[in-house]
Amino acid sequence: MYSNDQLPSHTRHRSFSVPGRAQENGLGKARVVFRVTARNENQNIGIYYDAMHVTLYYHDQSMGETSLLFPFFQEPKNTTVVDGVLSGATLTVNNELWMQFQADLGRGVVIFRLEVTSNIRFKVSTWDSKRHKMHANCEVGVGSDGSILASYVDKRCPVYFT
């Protein structure tokens, strides 16, 4: 078990959009663009991240996934920006899911869940911890224009470890 000073402080989503969302036959051109930040507010603890893996869920169905970033080390008191795009082969949207998406857009709000995972290790001075699987689950709402709703910008994402 870790104290709060030993954990990455938080993950937040900064931007999220679904360009081309209003196209009637947008399925073939579907694209999701996102930016999240990982903030390490710890005073003396650095974090080694393996490559990050991102999965996008809509109505609890996986819509796509991709790997992001090469492994990196995050210094204490540091923020790392993670940008990504899901499209083409990394985005798997069937016709039924696209129809649900269009219907939700018509109501003005579409809710997605972006799951970010990575194996991480903590570094304190010369000591490195064992690897832990980090999961950040970010719920994000998109308006009828396909852009993130203001109430979801900078929203803190729950983080847990397995």
Give the domain ranges of the chain. 4-161
pLDDT for the residue numbered 5: 41
pLDDT for the residue numbered 137: 94
Nearest one of 8, 16, 4, 7 to 138, comparing CA atoms: 16
For the domain 4-161, what is the CATH code? 2.60.40
Residue 28 CA: distances (Å) to CA of 67, 70, 82, 144 = 21, 29, 25, 19
pLDDT for the residue numbered 136: 93
Q: What is the pTM of this model?
A: 0.83
Q: Identify the burial level of 115 via C-beta atoms within 10 angstroms of its C-beta, where 0-12 means exposed, 13-18 middle and 19 or more buried.
A: middle
CB atoms within 10 A of CB 93: 20
pLDDT for the residue numbered 20: 61
Q: Which residues of the chain have pLDDT under 70?
A: 1-14, 20-29
Nearest one of 72, 68, 59 to 121, comparing CA atoms: 72
pLDDT for the residue numbered 46: 94
**Which helix (H) or strand (E) covers residue 68, if one does?**
strand 61-68
What would the two tokens of residue 1 be? Answer: 């078990």
